[in-house]
Amino acid sequence: MHAVSPLTLAALLFAVGVYGMLVRRNAVAVLMAVELLLNAVNLNLVTFSALLRDRLGMGQVFTIFLITVAAAETGLGLAIVLMLYRNRGTAAIDDARELGEDGALGLKRLPSPTPPAASENDKAVAK
């Protein structure tokens, strides 16, 4: 059996995954794109495992391992997305830029958070 078909399929899947990850704004869609990337890699692992007649089946072991990790990662990612949505009312990934530097390229200066009102203790100290 030729390895061309599964490898081509894996490459296409990977390309789609990269495109989705870099371009989509919705965080859920980005997570789905990441799944595509991982599965493209899984396909490669299985293909080469069969092609090289790996007696220990390391490629398949890695695939199962990766599926497990991907499931956990998706659970975690979805939880983060959920919290993001609850706090901001949107899941658009390029709006979540609070960690960017002030005055960075193409970023508007964020409104500085209002300082908390001085507490009673501070007033006492000021006196």
Partner 1 sequence: MSQASTVALWIPLLPLASAAALAAVSITERGRKAVPALAVVPTAAAAVLTFVVLFGHGTGAATESRVRYAATGGPELWLGARVDGLAALIAVLVGVVATAVQLYSVTYMAHEERYTSYTALISLFTAAMLVVVYSTDLLLLLVGWEVMGACSYFLIGHHWERPEARSASIKAFLVTKFGDVPFLLGILFLAHGAGSFRVEPIVQHAIHQGGHGYTAAGAILLIGGVMGKSAQIPLQTWLPDAMAGPTPISALIHAATMVAAGVYVVARLYPVFLVTPAALWILAIAAALTAVTAALSAFAQRDLKRILAYSTVSQLALMVAALAAGGRDAAVFHLMSHGGFKALLFLAAGVVIHKAGTGNVDELNAHGLRRKLPVTFVTTTIGLAALAGLPPFSGFFSKESIAGVAYETATQSGPAKSVLGTPPSGIGWLVLIATLLTGLLTAAYCLRTWWMLFVPLDRVWLRRDRKAAETPAEAAAEVAKTIVPASETGAAALEALVAASEEAKSEPGAVVGVGAGAGTGVEEGTGAGAAASAGEGAGKPRTGPEAPLAELGPLVVLAAITTVFGFVGLNHGWFASWLGDADGNAYRTAAAEAGKLIQPADAYRLSPAPLSTLLAVLALLLGLALVFSALRAKPGTDPNRVLGLLRRPAREGFHADDLQDAVAVRPVQLAADAVVFLDAEVVDGYVRGSGTASRALGEGLRRLQTGNVQLYLTGVLTGVVVIAAALGFGR
Q: What does the binding site for partner 1 look like in residue numbers (CB under 8 A)?
A: 18, 21-23, 30, 93-94, 96-101, 103-107
Give me the least distance between CB of 96 and partner 1, in Å please.
8
* Beta carbon nearer to partner 1, 29 or 66: 29
Give me the least distance between CB of 68 and partner 1, in Å please.
24
* Beta carbon nearer to partner 1, 26 or 60: 26
Give me the least distance between CB of 42 and partner 1, in Å please.
19
* Beta carbon nearer to partner 1, 106 or 116: 106
- What SS3 string covers the chain? CCCHHHHHHHHHHHHHHHHHHHHCCEHHHHHHHHHHHHHHHHHHHHHHHHHCCCCCCHHHHHHHHHHHHHHHHHHHHHHHHHHHHHHHCCCEHHHCCCCCCCCCCCCCCCCCCCCCCCCHHHHHHHC
